[in-house]
A and B are shown apart, each in its own frame.
Chain A
Amino acid sequence: MGERVTLLVGTRKGAFLVEPDGEPNDGSIRGPLCEGWPIHDMAVDPATGAIVAAGGNEWYGPAVFRSDDRGATWSHSSEGLAYGEDADKITTVWNVTPAHGAIYAGVEPAGLFRSDDGGATWQHVEGLTSHPTRPRWEPGAGGLCLHSIVPHPDDPDRLWVGISAVGTFETRDGGQTWDTRNQGVRADFVPGPPPEFGQCVHKLVMAADGGQHLYQQNHCGVYRSSDGGRQWHEITAGLPSEFGFPMAAHPRDPRTVWTIPLNGADRGRYAPEGSLSVWRTEDGGESWSASGEGLPQRDAFVGVLREAMAVDDRDPVGVYFGTSTGQLYASRDEGRSWRLLADNLPSIWSVEAAVLD
């Protein structure tokens, strides 16, 4: 990624493109785009340079938008984005992830779709929703949503997904069969030992070491896996709370990740004691350090949602996040200090850092 980064910001009321290196309120914000639709996630397709934006509209249903001219004009499609005539109706698209020439979409109610024509038409990845556990999947507070899609960097047949409140699954055969990947992850909201599935993964990310290390922020703690999700180890110790939504992984160092703990699932889900900080580990979660420099340290009763934090691949790494009350923050020093980019956007649902060619 070069020096000129653009932030793709999905909000409850449209998509925005933000130049993070500009001054606040200097006109470097474009939007709302996508006709003001609620946008859950955005990405750049490396195969084409197109921007894709996924969401769902209360009146007009789910869709994935696409722009081939850096956001100037948009088309959209939901052709094939359905389970069938008499099946559940898809309400929205939570995640859009290009990988290996395809584009994947995670939807609510939970399922995975794939497009091989740039988002014009979609095919249901039926292997996941025909998993034998499917009749027992239960929604989280945000719905039964497939919100995390993590492709293997080299193997197009390997893919991990995160579903609330079902947990993590992996396929090794291009989506035909799936295995649960929740061993070692707590599910304190059900009695007894942790189940095979039913964990409330909030965000799943991959470290930059070729698919070995995964991290997740869960409803019940923060976890690291060193074997592609087969076994998880809790790394919550040192954080002010086990609860939070977003997580971002360093583009080069597999032991560095960032998270933004909130005060607790049943305590309001805002910055602990109204003091907003981003927490970073540089040793795979063995220890954590916080930085609130440049962030509000009092009376900040804000939340940060699962897709609303991103990193670029500059050196030092730029880290970005948006709040559910419309503030957008950036750090040019790997999360040590922060500055406000915008403070009056709609509720921010997603942030992605990209270079638009």
Chain B
Amino acid sequence: MATVVLPRSLVALFPGAPRQLRVDGKTVADVLDSVDREVPGLRNRLCDSRTSLRPHINVFVDGAPAELETIVASDGVVHVIPAVSGG
């Protein structure tokens, strides 16, 4: 199972949701679908369509920048991190 680490500002939108969870998935898209089953609605916050992450959402797989189609190893670590922006 992959480990997914979510940002505080995202988890705060879903009362009771954990910052870190372990889910199945062969790609980042699969992993986010699995997370969405545990925390309904979370995928909508990270993706603006089935095929793309929102512009200011960064995902890293085992420390490397990733996209939705990036492969995730069975013991991989997926970090979701909001980009530095805003004012």
Which residues, 38 to 76 on B, are CB-close (under 8 Å) to A?
41, 44-46, 48-51, 54, 56-57
Q: Does B10 contact A (CB under 8 A)?
A: yes
The verdict on A59 contacting B41 (CB below 8 Å), with A73-B15, A89-B48, A89-B49 known, is no
Cβ-closest chain B residue relative to A84 = B49
Tell me the minimal C-beta distance from B16 to chain A in angstroms. Answer: 11
Which residues, 81 to 96 on A, are CB-close (under 8 Å) to B?
82, 85-86, 89-90
Tell me the minimal C-beta distance from A142 to chain B in angstroms. Answer: 17
> What separation, in Å, do the CA atoms of A76 and B9 have in the docked complex?
14
> What separation, in Å, do the CA atoms of A79 and B45 have in the docked complex?
10
- Find out whether the CB atom of B56 lies under 8 angstroms from the CB atom of A58: yes
Report the interface size class on chain A. 10 to 19
Q: Does A35 contact B (CB under 8 A)?
A: yes
> What separation, in Å, do the CA atoms of A90 and B57 have in the docked complex?
16
- Find out whether the CB atom of B44 lies under 8 angstroms from the CB atom of A78: yes
Which chain B positions have C-beta within 8 A of A77? 41, 44
Tell me the minimal C-beta distance from A63 to chain B in angstroms. Answer: 8
Which chain B positions have C-beta within 8 A of A238? none
- Find out whether the CB atom of B41 lies under 8 angstroms from the CB atom of A61: no
Tell me the count of chain B residues lying within 8 A, CB to CB, of chain A. Answer: 20
Tell me the minimal C-beta distance from B63 to chain A in angstroms. Answer: 21
Q: Does B17 contact A (CB under 8 A)?
A: no
> What separation, in Å, do the CA atoms of A73 and B49 have in the docked complex?
28
Which chain B positions have C-beta within 8 A of A82? 48-49
Which chain A positions have C-beta within 8 A of B56? 58-59
- Find out whether the CB atom of A59 lies under 8 angstroms from the CB atom of B57: yes
- Find out whether the CB atom of A79 lies under 8 angstroms from the CB atom of B41: yes
Cβ-closest chain A residue relative to B50 = A85
Partner pick for B45 among A60, A85, A90, CB 8 A cutoff: A60
Cβ-closest chain A residue relative to B42 = A60
- Find out whether the CB atom of A76 lies under 8 angstroms from the CB atom of B49: no
Partner pick for A79 among B9, B12, B44, CB 8 A cutoff: B44
- Find out whether the CB atom of B54 lies under 8 angstroms from the CB atom of A61: yes
Which chain A positions have C-beta within 8 A of B44? 61, 77-79
Q: Does B21 contact A (CB under 8 A)?
A: no
The verdict on A59 contacting B50 (CB below 8 Å), with A76-B13, A77-B41, A79-B44 known, is no
Which chain A positions have C-beta within 8 A of B46? 60
Which chain A positions have C-beta within 8 A of B83? 59
Which chain B positions have C-beta within 8 A of A35? 9, 12-13
Partner pick for A58 among B10, B13, B15, B85, CB 8 A cutoff: B85
Cβ-closest chain B residue relative to A83 = B49
> What separation, in Å, do the CA atoms of A76 and B17 have in the docked complex?
14
Partner pick for B54 among A59, A63, A73, CB 8 A cutoff: A59
> What separation, in Å, do the CA atoms of A199 and B15 have in the docked complex?
43
Q: Top 4 nearest A-B pairs by Cβ distance? A: A60-B45, A59-B82, A89-B48, A59-B56
